[in-house]
Amino acid sequence: MSSAHEASARATAVATLGETIPTDAEVTPLDGRRWGMVIDLDRCTGCQACVVACQAENNIAINEENRVLERRAKTWIRIERYWEGEFPNAKARFIPVLCQHCGN
């Protein structure tokens, strides 16, 4: 990632999240790399692509159907759904709840 792109991404994240992003002095990178994930809640459709990407990147085993049905599936990200508005104009909204492992 270029320095200009990284500065732009940091500025966008700060504008979106506020000043909660740690500075370089507060974070010790492993092997010179730092990872993070930003999800735009206004664009989240509940598709669970972020869940699949996290599972693939972190080598989490694929959940068997019976584990999902028993609500014992292992995931590091879960998608919470809530309803906004009144019937018949109610809209589903989704909030990905991240595991916070990336911060360690």
State pLDDT tens for residues 16-39.
Answer: 555 555 555 555 656 767 677 788
Whether the bond into 88 is cis, omega within 30 of 0: yes
Local confidence band at 8 (pLDDT 50, 70, 90 cut-offs): low
Q: Measure the CA dihedral 81/66/50/60, to 10°.
A: 140
Q: Tell me what pLDDT residue 74 has.
A: 74
Res 80 pLDDT > 60: yes
| 47 close to 104: Cβ distance less than 8 angstroms | no
Q: Is 40-104 in CATH node 3.30.70.20?
A: yes
Whole-model pTM: value is 0.55
Domain ranges of the chain: 1-34, 40-104
| 97 close to 77: Cβ distance less than 8 angstroms | yes
pLDDT tens profile 39-73: 888 899 999 898 888 888 888 777 788 887 887 77
Closest CA to 9 of 48, 38, 30: 38
> In terms of pLDDT, which residue wins out, 12 or 83?
83
Phi and psi at 95, nearest 5°, equal -130, 110
- In eight-state DSSP terms, residue 25 is G
pLDDT tens profile 81-94: 999 999 999 999 99
